[in-house]
Chains A and B, each alone.
Chain A
C-alpha cells in the first residue's frame, strides 16, 4: 500500500471562528481515511459544507490538518508543499491560471517555466496537449476571445503541462454548458487512459461522477458515508426500481392495480402507459413482473434504475 497515490488516515480539520466571547469551532473534516490507487478516477462528492474543499486543500498542501496523516505520491503535503506541487496538477473551479489578455501559449510558456520545464520541453508539451485536448486552434488566440468551454480546455492543458502524476479537480465543470461539460469529461477520461494520470475530482454534477469516475467517495458533515465503485452504487444503494409498461389495451391500466400489493406504487403516465415504482426491499421486481404479465397483455416493458442523483440524495439524507 506504500504505492498508493493518496493515503489518508484519520484526517481531522477544525476551524475556529469568532472572537473571545462568541468563539465557535467547526469540524470540517472528522477523521476520514481512504486510499487512492495510481490510475484511479475518484469522485469525492458531497453537499455544500461536507468537507470536500477542505480535504482537497489539505491534500494539495495548502492547509494544515488539525490531526491525522496523509501522503500524496509518498509526500506529506503540508510539509513539502512545493515538492508535491511539482508532481500534481490542480484545477480549482473557475479560478483561472491563464492570462486573459494573452494567448494560452504565452501562459503555457510562463507556467512551464514555473514548473521547471526547459523551453524545448514546453514547446513539445504544448504540441502534445493541444493535439490530445483538441485545442490546436485555440492556443494562439487571446483567452478573452474563447468561450468558457474552450478556456477550460486550455486550463486543463495548463495543469497537465508538467506531466503530473495526479490531477486534483475542484468543481471543474461548474458554469459550462452541456456540450462543453460532455467534452471536458471525455478529455479527463482520455488523460487518464492515455497518460495514466490519477484523477481526484470533486463535483456537484452527478454526470461528472457517472461519466468520469470509476469510484466515488461520498462525504457529509466531514465524514465518509459511502465509498465504492460507481457501478456498484446503484445496485447496492437503490431501494427502488421503476418498471415502465406499455399496454396492448389502454383500458387495462386499472386491472394492473388489482392485487399488486403495497410495495408497488402505480402511476398512469398516459393512455396505456403505466409506471410501477417497486420497493425492492420488500418486493422483488420479478414478482411484480409476474403479476403484470399474468393480469394484462403488454406491448412493451422496461426496467429502469433510478437516476444516480436520486441515489446520492438518499445517501445524503440518511440519518448519521
Chain B
C-alpha cells in the first residue's frame, strides 16, 4: 500500500469513530459537560426571557420562547467542543508530539479534525437531549419542526466548522509556538461575532448583516437561529461553504507548518 492509495475519508471516519468510543468511555466528562451546559443555559435563557418580556413579549423578533431555544442551541454547540483546543494543538507542536503523526502516510490534519469532531459529537448529543427537554419544559414544544429538522445538521456543521477554524488558527503555533493570543482572539470573536451570547439581530443593523455572512456565525448563530423557529435553509449552505473553506485553510496551514517544522526542527 502506498500513501497515495490511502483513503482520507476512511481515515477520517475511523478516527472519528475511535474518538466517539473514547469519549463514551469517560462518563465523568459527559456528566460534567451536561451539568455545566444546564447551568449556563438556565442562567442565560432566563436573562433573555426577561429581556423579551420587558420589551412587550418580543425583542428584535425573538419571543421569550425563541430566545430560550436560541440560547440552548448556541450553548450546546460551543460547550460540546473540546476545551482549549487551540492550546492543545500548540502544545503538540511545541512538545514535538506532532512529529509522531508526521511519520504516518496520511495528512495529520485529517485524523486531527475527525478526532475532535468525534470527541464533540457525544457531548453534543447529551447537550441536545438536555436542551430539548429544558426548552420544552420552559418554553413549550418547538413552533416549527421544519426549523428543528434544519437545526440538527446545522449543529453538526457548526461544531465541524468551529473545529476546522480552530485548527486553521492554531496552525500559527508552528511559527510562533504560543497560541495564547490566537485563542483569546478566536474565543472573543465567536462569543460576540458568532452570536453565542447575543443573537446577532440584537447588534446594530450595520453590523449584524455582515456578521451573518462571516464564518463565525456558522459556528453558533446558524443552528441557534434555526432552532428558534426560523426556517432559513440558505444558512446551511453558507455553513457548508465556510466549513469547506476552513478545512482547506487548516489543511494548507498545517501542510505549510509541518514543512516549516521540517526546516527549523521541533
SS of B interface (majority)? helix
| CB atoms of B104 and A114 under 8 A apart | yes
| CB atoms of A109 and B18 under 8 A apart | yes
B9-37 contact mask (Cβ, 8 Å, vs A): 1 or 0: 01100110010011001100000000000
| CB atoms of B3 and A86 under 8 A apart | yes
For A83, list chain B residues within 8 Å (CB).
Answer: 2-4, 105
Interface size class of A (residues with CB under 8 A): 20 to 34
| CB atoms of A102 and B22 under 8 A apart | yes
| CB atoms of B263 and A64 under 8 A apart | yes
Q: Which residue of B is nearest A118, CB measured?
A: B1
Q: Is A106 an interface residue (CB 8 A)?
A: yes
| CB atoms of A106 and B21 under 8 A apart | yes
Q: Is B103 an interface residue (CB 8 A)?
A: yes
B88-111 contact mask (Cβ, 8 Å, vs A): 1 or 0: 000000000101101111110001
Given A57-B99, A63-B262, check contact A110 B15 (CB 8 Å). Answer: yes
A residues 113-140 touching B (CB-CB < 8 Å): 113-117
Q: Is B265 an interface residue (CB 8 A)?
A: yes
For B264, list chain A residues within 8 Å (CB).
Answer: 15
Complex partner residue of B2 from A62, A86, A117, CB under 8 angstroms: A86
| CB atoms of B100 and A114 under 8 A apart | no
Docked complex Cα distance between A57 and B262 (Å) = 9
For A62, list chain B residues within 8 Å (CB).
Answer: 99, 102-103, 261-262, 266
Q: Which residue of B is nearest A117, CB measured?
A: B1
A88-116 contact mask (Cβ, 8 Å, vs B): 1 or 0: 10101001010101100011011001111
Q: Is B149 an interface residue (CB 8 A)?
A: no
| CB atoms of B102 and A54 under 8 A apart | no
Q: Which residue of A is nearest B18, CB measured?
A: A110
Q: Is B248 an interface residue (CB 8 A)?
A: no
Q: Is B6 an interface residue (CB 8 A)?
A: yes
| Minimum CB–CB distance for A201 against chain B, Å | 16
Given A62-B262, A82-B106, check contact A115 B6 (CB 8 Å). Answer: yes
| CB atoms of A106 and B18 under 8 A apart | yes
Q: Which residue of A is nearest B4, CB measured?
A: A83
Given A63-B265, A106-B21, check contact A116 B6 (CB 8 Å). Answer: yes
| CB atoms of B5 and A88 under 8 A apart | no
| Minimum CB–CB distance for B3 against chain A, Å | 4
Docked complex Cα distance between A114 and B1 (Å) = 11
| Minimum CB–CB distance for B21 against chain A, Å | 6
For A149, list chain B residues within 8 Å (CB).
Answer: none
Docked complex Cα distance between A82 and B101 (Å) = 11
Complex partner residue of A15 from B103, B105, B265, CB under 8 angstroms: B265
| CB atoms of B97 and A115 under 8 A apart | no
Q: Is A254 an interface residue (CB 8 A)?
A: no
A150-173 contact mask (Cβ, 8 Å, vs B): 1 or 0: 000000000000100000000000
Residues of B at the A interface (CB closer than 8 Å) are 1-7, 10-11, 14-15, 18, 21-22, 25-26, 97, 99-100, 102-107, 111, 261-266
Residues of A at the B interface (CB closer than 8 Å) are 15, 54, 57, 60-64, 78, 81-83, 85-86, 88, 90, 92, 95, 97, 99, 101-102, 106-107, 109-110, 113-117, 142, 162
What are 16 pairs between A and B in contact, CB < 8 Å?
A61-B102, A62-B103, A62-B261, A62-B262, A81-B102, A83-B2, A83-B4, A85-B103, A86-B2, A86-B105, A90-B103, A101-B25, A101-B26, A113-B15, A114-B15, A115-B104
